[in-house]
Structure 1
Amino acid sequence: MNVAIVGCGGLGRVHAECYSRIDGVTVVGVCDMDEGAARTVSAMTGAAVYPTYEEMLERSGCDIVSIALPSHLHASFAIRAAAAGKHIVCEKPIALRTEDAEAMIEACDRHGVRLFVGHVVRFFPEYAKVREQIAGGALGRVGVVHAKRAGSHPGDAREWFADDSRSGGVVVDLMIHDLDYLLWTLGDVRSVYAHRIRRDRLDYASATLVFESGAIANVEAQWGYPGPFHTTMEVAGSQGIVRHDSRTSSPLAIRRTVTGESGGPFVEVPQRPELRSPYELELRHFIDCIRDGSEPIVTARDACRALRLAEAVLESASTGRVVYPGSQAKEETR
């Protein structure tokens, strides 16, 4: 199975490294506006460098396109890949607007190709274990969830992150991890009330979600945190509490900022001490789904639901009002 990668920044490199460890998968093409970044990934994989995306789609012989571009480009590049008959692995968020996400899904359905979206938190073992405990009834009826993720502002490394029109800001780029996970774990959301503060290199958002089940989740996301990237989660149920804190739960803390040979810094990607990173587990899973036709753990429709919830958070934060996305979320599952 042949893969081409468009976008050779930090996550493009992560994709390249992961694909190189999957039997039967070959990276055959790379493309990036930064030729130096493309040549670095080419040197890692032996893939050809293509000057344009169209040329890569036409000439590389790829079966799959991995899209690791700024978020505002996801929709247009995915739709072009679908029209070329290529399966797609797209980094999260699926798009910046649900209308674009729907257009991506429709294009893939029309051209008979698969669309996978990289909501990688579902592949982190601690998050998978918490969901397993909830689903198995170990915690009883879930009452309250506290979830947080915080780190330095990625705009310090890549300026486009500081532009909401290109990244979606801290809600659509960062908080969406927990929004997707909570939808996956607790089901539909009845109401959203949110706040957001943006000041210089601080982008902070908090949201209170009330689920149809009656559970309440308090979710925080912050760029500009004066310390290492970290995630925390606490789930309180009628029969017990489970807690996760990335700063204390891992026996080995790895924090690495990658700098390319082209001289440009890349956004920090959380690292893990496991033999196989969650990114590799995710990409292996997507490849297996293409090979055997099975449904992925995270579907494109799931990614669209997470984006819709992120939009509700932004609407509440901008209006100061409670937003009720429950009926829309139910419609998405039909």
Structure 2
Amino acid sequence: MTHQHWAGAHQVVDVIAAINADQVAPSPLANDHVLRTREHEESKSPAAHHVSGEFEKLAVQGRRLARLCRGCHRSPGLQIIAATAGGAGSRILHAASSRSVAEPEARRVRNGGDQAVSGSVPESSRLRIALVGAGGFGTYTCELIDRQPEIDLVGVADTDGGKARRLGNDRAVPYWTDHRALLDECDCDAVAIVTTHSTHRDIAVDAAAAGRHIFCEKTMAITVAECHDMVEAADAHGVKLMVGHKRRFRPASAALRRALGTAGLGRPLAVNIRGFFGRRITGFWRERSLCGGLLYWAGVHDVDTLRYLFGEVASVYAVLGPKFRPEVSDQEDAISVALTFQSGMVGSLQVSTFYPMATYQTAFGFDIVCERGGISYNPHDLSITTQLEDQPSGVVRLEHNSPDGAYDTEWSSFAAWVLRDEAPVLTSEDGLRCVEILQAAYLSAATGSRVDLPLDRNERRPFDDLS
């Protein structure tokens, strides 16, 4: 058995175990030690944010080996030796294998400072992705990644050290409390941004500069200016940027688009769409400074669906409803939006978080009026009803329309785009155009006037006026 040693490990005091990687998951020992050390240093001095010198080198190497173990756990010949390094007292991992295990090429180039490297197609057939955001949806995202045959989770970051530790240990991957440290130290091909909307821009720009492809959960950002920054950073560094509008991947969306094109209904003239959510939803969604407003989290899927089915929006007019529960949220509890499309058709969107029923699906759906008939979609019973003039209605029942299935397809699409350059269903442009409509709606609500699109890049934020 050969051992892979690194510079800076002056002494290996004792070998704790030699275990086959197929039997035991990779150990998060390096994670625990680095976080505990940083917490201890910060307790002594608020300015001390990193462990230093040889100890920091050991910590970094420990994380690298944890990633090696994670990436190679399917190899029967791989064995792991846990050891204790003298002096610093850190527990570190050595990897040994009957096969050669090569450290992935460094993604950062240092020459008196960081130099960005362009993103590229990973050399392996698998996509190594790191997660930024270890909250509830971040945890769910890990489950989605687990189901993907071409994606491996290789790291986690969250500004909340407790959340980062819990999720990192649970997934047996290294973790960080700063996304910039993750980008600097984690051997990943891409990052998934699952944080508050207000943080998306900075994380995405940093990821692009580090040469990482980007999957950003909706909503892309809060302002058009932030979205432009993200798109330009991705273009400048040659990385791919996808925004997670999952509803595009639901069977209902494809069925509706087919019906509009093939059912003999004629040109669409008007659409009404509603999304009434229950009262119990909590989290950062309730804070305008973090998410942007009700429409940004409860209406963004509807806006993207409207664009997907009917094309670009030309103008927006919006009215905010009252705040029924100011003690729960600093946002409106209802909003109504009127849209005019470039095609000339009109649309209306109503969103509320004051619906008293148990599930919002009973109050979600939409109706489309066309030249020679119409379409009604009811997600509660997964039915799409078409009606032509003077003819019986036709009803299509969908076998499934679950969010899980849409998420799975969304993630496989991202992997195919990065690994094989297959054309994606969604691009950064789709994310930007959605934010443009959302921001225009709040500008309209603040001014009482119709807002024409496209918005100027430097259009002001209306949100402070509405608080």
State the partner residue of 2:20: none
Shift, 1:328, TM fit: 7.2
Q: Write out per-residue CA displacement over residues 171-222 of structure 1, whole angstroms, 9 at most, x where no aligned residue.
A: 1222121112212221222322211124125521111112122211111111
Residue 5 in 1 paired to residue 131 in 2?
yes
TM-score using structure 2 length: 0.62
Establish whether residue 192 from structure 1 lines up as the match of residue 316 from structure 2.
Answer: yes
Task: Name the structure 1 match of 2:356.
Answer: 226
In the alignment, which residue of structure 1 is the partner of 2:172?
A: 46
Cross-structure match for 1:238 = 371
Higher relative contact order (CA 8 A, sep 6+): 1
Change beyond 3 A, Cα 1:84–1:327: closer
Paired residues of 1:16 and 1:41 also in contact (CA < 8 A): no
Give, in angstroms, the shift of residue 161 of structure 1: 2.1
| Aligned position for 1:268 | none
Are the counterparts in 1 of residues 250 and 402 from structure 2 also a CA contact under 8 Å? no
SS of the aligned residue for 2:355 comes to coil
> Cα 1:5–1:322, aligned 2, differ >3 Å: closer, same or farther?
same
Residue 62 of structure 1 aligns to a residue in which SS?
coil
CA contact (8 A) 1:195 1:205 kept: yes
Q: CA RMSD in A?
A: 2.3
Please name the residue that 2:432 is paired with: 304
Instruction: Find the partner of 1:157 among 267, 272, 282.
Output: 282
Match of 2:336 among 202, 206, 223: 206
More helix per residue: 1
Measured in 2, the distance between the counterparts of 1:274 and 1:327 equals 34
Is 1:314 the counterpart of 2:442? The answer is: yes
1:85-96 aligned within 5 A: 85-96=211-222
Instruction: Give the CA deviation at 1:297.
Output: 1.0
Whether the 8 Å contact between 1:71 and 1:95 is mirrored in structure 2 is yes
1:214-254 per-residue CA deviation (whole Å, 9 max, x = no partner) reads 2111111112322222221111212332222222328xxxx
Q: Which has the larger radius of gyration?
A: 2
Q: Is the 8 A contact 2:275 2:298 kept in 1?
A: yes
Which deviations, in whole Å up to 9, do the C-alpha atoms of 1:26-47 show, x marking residues without a partner? 1010112333433443355322
- Measured against aligned partners, the alpha-carbon deviations of 1:293-322 in whole angstroms (never above 9, x if no partner) come to 133111101111111111111111222212
Distance 2:230 2:139 in 1: 24
Segment of structure 1 superposing worse, 41-50 or 58-67? 41-50
Contact between 1:140 and 1:240, CA under 8 Å: does it hold in 2?
A: yes
**Conserved 8 A contact 2:313-2:453:** yes
Pick closer, same or farther for the CA change 1:153–1:308 going to 2, 3 Å. farther
Mapped to 2, the partners of 1:168 and 1:122 lie a distance apart of: 22
Distance 2:173 2:313 in 1: 44
Q: How many Å separate the matches in 1 of 2:355 and 2:404?
A: 28
For the pair 1:70 / 2:196, whether they are aligned, the reply is yes
Distance 1:315 1:327, change over 3 A: closer
2:160 touches 2:177 (CA, 8 Å); kept in 1? no
Instruction: Report the AA paired with residue 372 of structure 2.
Output: Q
Q: Does 1:216 align with 2:351?
A: no
Indicate how the Cα distance of structure 1 residues 273 and 298 shifts in structure 2: closer, same or farther if over 3 A, else same.
Answer: closer
In the alignment, residue 323 of structure 1 is paired with which amino acid? Answer: V
Q: Whole-Å Cα distance in 2 between the matches of residues 34 and 94 of structure 1? A: 22
Is 2:436–2:454's contact at 8 Å kept on the other side of the alignment? Answer: no
- Structure 2 CA distance for partners of 1:5 and 1:152, relative to 1, 3 Å: same
> CA separation in 1, counterparts of 2:374 and 2:240?
38
CA distance, structure 2, for counterparts of residue 71 and residue 303 of structure 1: 12
Cα displacement (A) at 1:275? 9.9
Counterpart residue identity of residue 178, structure 1: D
Contact map agreement 1:188 1:326 (CA 8 A) in 2: no
- The amino acid that maps onto 1:62 is C
Conserved 8 A contact 1:193-1:208:
yes
The separation in 2 between residues aligned to 1:234 and 1:65, in whole angstroms, is 37
* Distance of 2:295 and 2:307 partners within structure 1: 15
Which stretches in structure 2 are left out of the alignment for 5+ residues?
1-126, 384-399, 458-467
What secondary structure sits across from 2:225 in the alignment? helix
Distance 2:264 2:196 in 1: 40
Provide the TM-score with structure 1 as the length reference.
0.85
- Count of aligned pairs: 306
Q: Is the 8 A contact 1:146 1:218 kept in 2?
A: yes
Q: Which one-letter code corresponds to 2:317 in the other structure?
A: Y
Query: Equivalent residue of 2:368, what SS?
Result: strand
Query: Match for 1:175: what amino acid?
Result: G
Q: Percent identity?
A: 29
> What pairs up with 1:40-189 in 2 under 5 angstroms?
40-136=166-262, 138-152=264-278, 157-158=282-283, 160-189=284-313
**Is the Cα–Cα contact under 8 Å of residues 117 and 303 in structure 1 kept in the other structure?**
yes
